Amino acid sequence: MRRLPIRVRLTAAFATAMLLVLLAAALFVALRLRADLDDQVNNNLQARTVAAVNAYREGARLAAVALEDPEESFVQLLDGSGEVLESGGEVVGPAILPEEVRQSRYGSGVG
Protein backbone atom coordinates (compact mmCIF):
# COMPACT_ATOMS: atom_id res chain seq x y z
CA MET A 1 0.00 0.00 0.00
CA ARG A 2 1.36 3.38 -0.99
CA ARG A 3 1.82 6.23 1.44
CA LEU A 4 -0.57 9.12 1.09
CA PRO A 5 0.89 12.40 -0.14
CA ILE A 6 1.78 15.00 2.48
CA ARG A 7 -1.01 17.32 1.28
CA VAL A 8 -3.67 14.68 1.91
CA ARG A 9 -2.25 13.83 5.33
CA LEU A 10 -2.07 17.51 6.34
CA THR A 11 -5.60 18.13 5.09
CA ALA A 12 -6.92 15.13 7.03
CA ALA A 13 -5.08 16.18 10.20
CA PHE A 14 -6.35 19.77 9.91
CA ALA A 15 -9.92 18.61 9.23
CA THR A 16 -9.79 16.28 12.24
CA ALA A 17 -8.45 19.05 14.48
CA MET A 18 -11.13 21.48 13.27
CA LEU A 19 -13.81 18.85 13.86
CA LEU A 20 -12.64 18.41 17.45
CA VAL A 21 -12.52 22.17 18.04
CA LEU A 22 -16.02 22.65 16.61
CA LEU A 23 -17.41 19.76 18.65
CA ALA A 24 -15.87 21.15 21.83
CA ALA A 25 -17.28 24.62 21.09
CA ALA A 26 -20.74 23.20 20.35
CA LEU A 27 -20.70 21.18 23.58
CA PHE A 28 -19.64 24.24 25.57
CA VAL A 29 -22.39 26.41 24.05
CA ALA A 30 -25.04 23.73 24.56
CA LEU A 31 -24.11 23.21 28.22
CA ARG A 32 -23.97 26.96 28.93
CA LEU A 33 -27.32 27.53 27.21
CA ARG A 34 -28.90 24.72 29.21
CA ALA A 35 -27.54 26.11 32.47
CA ASP A 36 -28.68 29.64 31.62
CA LEU A 37 -32.17 28.44 30.71
CA ASP A 38 -32.40 26.41 33.92
CA ASP A 39 -31.32 29.45 35.95
CA GLN A 40 -33.82 31.70 34.19
CA VAL A 41 -36.71 29.27 34.75
CA ASN A 42 -35.75 28.79 38.40
CA ASN A 43 -35.50 32.57 38.96
CA ASN A 44 -38.89 33.16 37.32
CA LEU A 45 -40.51 30.41 39.37
CA GLN A 46 -38.96 31.78 42.56
CA ALA A 47 -40.26 35.28 41.80
CA ARG A 48 -43.75 33.94 41.04
CA THR A 49 -43.68 31.90 44.25
CA VAL A 50 -42.85 34.97 46.30
CA ALA A 51 -45.58 36.97 44.54
CA ALA A 52 -48.17 34.24 45.10
CA VAL A 53 -47.29 33.76 48.78
CA ASN A 54 -47.32 37.53 49.40
CA ALA A 55 -50.69 37.87 47.66
CA TYR A 56 -52.09 35.00 49.74
CA ARG A 57 -50.77 36.49 53.00
CA GLU A 58 -52.22 39.91 52.14
CA GLY A 59 -55.58 38.38 51.36
CA ALA A 60 -55.43 39.26 47.65
CA ARG A 61 -56.72 36.88 45.04
CA LEU A 62 -54.20 34.68 43.27
CA ALA A 63 -55.93 35.38 39.97
CA ALA A 64 -54.12 38.72 39.91
CA VAL A 65 -50.78 36.91 40.20
CA ALA A 66 -51.73 34.51 37.40
CA LEU A 67 -52.69 37.32 35.07
CA GLU A 68 -49.55 39.43 35.56
CA ASP A 69 -47.90 37.61 32.68
CA PRO A 70 -50.21 36.80 29.74
CA GLU A 71 -48.13 33.73 28.89
CA GLU A 72 -48.97 32.19 32.25
CA SER A 73 -52.40 30.64 32.52
CA PHE A 74 -52.69 29.67 36.20
CA VAL A 75 -51.22 29.74 39.68
CA GLN A 76 -51.89 27.40 42.60
CA LEU A 77 -50.89 27.60 46.22
CA LEU A 78 -50.44 24.20 47.87
CA ASP A 79 -49.95 23.18 51.48
CA GLY A 80 -47.28 20.70 52.55
CA SER A 81 -49.40 17.67 51.66
CA GLY A 82 -50.18 18.91 48.15
CA GLU A 83 -53.71 20.10 48.84
CA VAL A 84 -54.74 23.20 46.87
CA LEU A 85 -55.24 26.15 49.24
CA GLU A 86 -56.13 28.64 46.53
CA SER A 87 -56.11 28.69 42.77
CA GLY A 88 -56.14 31.39 40.13
CA GLY A 89 -56.37 31.25 36.38
CA GLU A 90 -57.70 28.53 34.14
CA VAL A 91 -57.02 25.28 35.97
CA VAL A 92 -59.42 22.71 37.37
CA GLY A 93 -58.14 20.54 40.18
CA PRO A 94 -54.54 20.20 41.33
CA ALA A 95 -51.89 20.77 38.66
CA ILE A 96 -49.44 18.47 40.44
CA LEU A 97 -49.97 15.04 41.96
CA PRO A 98 -49.48 14.53 45.72
CA GLU A 99 -46.67 12.04 44.97
CA GLU A 100 -44.86 14.71 42.97
CA VAL A 101 -45.23 17.13 45.89
CA ARG A 102 -43.64 14.56 48.21
CA GLN A 103 -40.80 13.95 45.74
CA SER A 104 -40.09 17.66 45.38
CA ARG A 105 -40.14 18.21 49.16
CA TYR A 106 -37.54 15.52 49.73
CA GLY A 107 -35.28 16.55 46.86
CA SER A 108 -35.72 13.51 44.64
CA GLY A 109 -37.00 15.67 41.78
CA VAL A 110 -40.09 15.39 39.69
CA GLY A 111 -39.74 13.28 36.57
Express each pLDDT in 41-87 by its tens digit.
889 888 888 888 888 888 877 777 666 565 666 778 887 777 888 87
On whether the CB atoms of residues 94 and 78 are closer than 8 A, the answer is: yes
Tell me whether strands 84-89 and 74-78 are parallel, antiparallel or unpaired.
Answer: antiparallel
Which range of 12-21, 43-52, 55-64, 91-100 scores highest in mean pLDDT? It is 12-21
Query: Which of 64, 71, 111 lies closest to 88 in space, CA to CA?
Result: 64
Question: What per-residue string of b and e applies to 69-81 under the rule 16 or more CB within 10 Å gives b?
Answer: eeeeebbbbbeee
Q: What is the pTM of this model?
A: 0.57
Which range of 21-25, 65-69, 87-91, 104-108 scores highest in mean pLDDT? It is 21-25
- Which residue type occupies 57? R
